Amino acid sequence: MGLFGRKTVTVDADILVIGGGMAGTGATYESRYWGRDLKIVCVEKANIERSGAVAQGLYAINCYMGMQWGENQPEDHVRYARNDLMGLVREDLGYDIARHVDGTVHKFEEWGLPMMRDPKTGRYQREGKWQIMIHGESYKPIVAEAARKAASEVHNRIMVTHLLMDQKAKRVAGAVGFNVRTGDYCVFRAKAVIVCAGGASHIFKPRSVGEGMGRTWYAPWSSASAYALPIQVGAKMMQMENRIVLARFKDGYGPVGAYFLHLKTYTQNGYGEEYESKWKEHTRALVGDYIDHHPTPTCLRNHAFLQEVAAGRGPIRMVTTEAFQDPHKETVGWENFLGMTIGQAVVWASQNIDPKYINPELTTSEPYVMGSHATCSGAWASGPEDYAPSDYQWGYNRMMTVDGLFGAGDTIGGTAHKFSSGSFTEGRIAAKAAVRYVMEKGKAQPEVSDEEVRELERTIFQPLETYRVGRNEIVAGTVSPSYILPLHGLQRLEKIMDEYAGGISTNYMTNDKLLNRGLELLKMLKEDMRQIGAEDLHQLQRAWELQHRLLASESVTRHTLYREETRWPGYYYRGDFMKLDDEKWHCFTLSRYDRKTGEWTMEKAPVYHIVD
Amino acid sequence: MPTFVYMTRCDGCGHCVDICPSDIMHIDKTYRRALNIEPNMCWECYSCVKACPMQAIDCRGYADFAPLGHSVRALREEKKGTIAWKIRFRDGREKNFLSPIRTTPWGTIKGPAEYAAPRAEDFNRQELAHEPDSLKIEGGLPALRREQLKQGVV
Ligand SMILES: Cc1cc2nc3c(=O)[nH]c(=O)nc-3n(C[C@H](O)[C@H](O)[C@H](O)COP(=O)(O)OP(=O)(O)OC[C@H]3O[C@@H](n4cnc5c(N)ncnc54)[C@H](O)[C@@H]3O)c2cc1C
Ligand code: SF4
Ligand code: SF4
């Protein structure tokens, strides 16, 4: 029994995987392949059967080379991702995922994931150059089964709040958190840790703030833990300014990939006109010949969308009425949503929108911070041993700048367009390296100070105590002078980020004055977090999700302030530096947080390209 | 569409509580049946709907943008390996869809430890488990040469 008569559960592991989503299940599987005798523990805040961004399933695997049929080579994917991110991706890491990803997808098929096949060629049915179509309703349960077969233990419903460090040996030593069901304090001691905790929604105020605020594009449970956990222990982050804005079907945020690529639907303005080409010269003035790249970078397409709407010619619509006359295409269009964004089907059913007869509206979403889509925020990681330049290599593949701390999926920066298959693959890459780390360097069980473990326990459960005491001051209700509730804090965070760091209400515009003011307000919110109250364990989880979002938001704001250019118009704009500036900013931005002083250190890192 | 639970169908089994990725399906202490405690943190992911053995959970589109009168129902049958969908529009029109969910029996995935153990030299190579065979290509795992990566703007 610990403080307040609470039970402490201590688990010793060789490898600890935090988050059992796509990357985490991949990491768990691969850890066992290489570490036959190791104790491999996967810890997850929900239930790995349906956790993470793939909880509802997917209708496409968006990263598959098709090397067996000579469709694409890994280099091609690197060039594609580089082009889409306006020149700035970690090409060494991206190539590494691309060279392994086909093997992962072939395993998925063997495990029982239904793949669609082209009836003429017998190959996987392509949705686009990189995407293949699947019946993926059970994608997550299938990879979860593989992970359960591999893990020594899977611990569901444990919210991980902090990483543990061996201060003497300067290496990671595990993690702590609490069981959301029992309230037990959980201490995991491990020789290597792989963070696979997904991306971040609800950093910026979403378009819907009523009952529908959970209908964000990325899952509402993507709580930025992937960034906050490493940031807290001083791991370097990269490109945190590189948030993503998505053009999606209105309100439901149903994906548009299959519509553009497979169904060949296209967009037009409210008056039925093509508009993208009109903005080409305007965009050229901002970014130069990046506008001529093929395919047009996602952010630049957003930029044209935003300009057209600002010019008073909205709404932008997807022309579906032609394609949907074909019954096969109509089925694909609907199943695409039922397989991964069911909410879109509901919006259409409720508003009598049948895309066979009505061209549905699109909108641009609030910004998201993540590392696996058309964006690449995340941790700064060491590259593959066989070819990464020395600037990118200081240890094991996918190890962060903290010894023994690895990551994969949304957690790792610089590797845009890895998606579900690439995240699983990156989990595998990180796991093999982590096993090697444990075998070569990490043999001894790291030491954790008992004092630190007890101090963290007090910190973690404080919101319950704050609520219990403060609650007696007031009659009833949610308004107290002594505490704020997690939802209050979340809405304040979203408002600050929205108004000061380039959210929807400023049309994604910000500048140094706004960002600095935003930082002042974030600081006060950080102070108020000492007075966050939690009524029960569920609210305690929300309180810690908010803590993680807040730390990630601070990082986003610092990075946005540091990069003095507008690299990705359509994702965000620096009003004081409206142009892309390759001379000064063809580089990565890196940050490091010092938790003792609360200071951030910023630096630039070079970009290496495959040149041939 | 946040979820809600029909009082007469729910028997309080807790499957929805166990699966919800948002931790918002809870058992009401008075009624001993499930409810969504935080509709504004619901992703409409349908994990709970699919998991409920009593078909007790349904969704009503988010009040702030979905007019009433619609429904999207799912029936996921693991043994058959299918999921069936019924969409009803506000004006009464209906659409039905049926998709496969898995091609192999549940529980049959071969765990990684059931494969031959890797050799000592494999640890220092770049191949992952099952590679290079699983890539289905000739010539082994592709790689870059270090000198192919250079600084500059391309
Ligand atoms: C609407 C939508 C459509 C998409 N479409 C496609 C597509 O068509 N094709 C495709 O290939 N990809 C698609 N993706 C992208 C894909 O889902 C992601 O790239 C992938 O899931 C990222 O993997 P991950 O492991 O990093 O994160 P996730 O899969 O989200 O996993 C993160 C895990 O960490 C857990 N976790 C988080 N915080 C904590 C904590 N503090 N303690 C313990 N556990 C924690 C979470 O519960 C979760 O299980 C789509 C995503 C979305 C949202
Ligand atoms: S799964 Fe269905 S029957 Fe069981 S508690 Fe939930 S709503 Fe009730
Ligand atoms: S639809 Fe998803 S998020 Fe909503 S209550 Fe059900 S399982 Fe939870």
CB-facing half-sphere around the CA of B147: CA atoms within 13 A: 0
Residue from A393, A366, A387 nearest A506 by CA: A366
pLDDT of residue A145: 98
B22 touches chain A (CB under 8 A): yes
pLDDT of residue B1: 54
pLDDT of residue A444: 87
Other beta carbons within 10 angstroms of residue A385's beta carbon come to 15
CB pairs under 8 A between A and B: 278
pLDDT of residue A2: 47
pLDDT of residue A4: 56
Give B 86-125 residues with CB within 8 A of chain A: 87-91, 93, 95, 97, 99-113, 115, 117-118, 123
- B43/B40 Cα distance (integer angstroms): 8
B85 carries an active-site annotation: no
Query: In a mutational test of the pocket of ligand 3, which residue from B27, B47, B60, B62 has the highest number of ligand atoms less than 8 Å from its CB?
Result: B47
Ligand 2 site, CB within 6 A: B 5, 10-16, 33-34, 51-52, 54, 56-57
B84 touches chain A (CB under 8 A): no
- Crossing angle for the helix pair A419-440 and A22-34, nearest 10 degrees? 40
- A555/A561 Cα distance (integer angstroms): 10
- A593/B43 Cα distance (integer angstroms): 32
Partner-chain residue, chosen from A114, A220, A387, that has the shortest CB–CB distance to B149? A387
Q: Which residue positions in chain B have pLDDT lower than 50?
A: none
What chain B residue is nearest to A208 in terms of C-alpha separation? B64
DSSP string, A509-529: EE-HHHHHHHHHHHHHHHHHG
pLDDT of residue B152: 87
pLDDT of residue A1: 44
Tokens of A114: 């239904």
| Nearest-CA distance B11 → chain A (Å) | 20
Cα angle for residues A127, A133, A136 (degrees, 5° grid):
150
Domain range annotation of chain B: 3-100, 112-143
Domain B3-100 CATH (choose: 3.30.70.20, 3.40.50.1000, 3.20.20.70, 3.30.465.10): 3.30.70.20
pLDDT along chain A (612 residues), means of 10: 76 98 98 98 98 97 98 97 98 98 98 97 96 98 98 98 94 98 98 98 96 96 98 98 98 93 95 97 97 96 98 98 95 94 96 97 98 98 97 96 98 98 98 97 89 97 97 95 98 98 98 98 98 98 98 98 98 98 98 96 97 72
Instruction: State the pTM of this model.
Output: 0.98
pLDDT of residue B153: 85
Catalytic residue, candidates B43, B62, B89, B115 = B43
Which chain B positions have a beta carbon within 8 Å of A348's beta carbon?
89
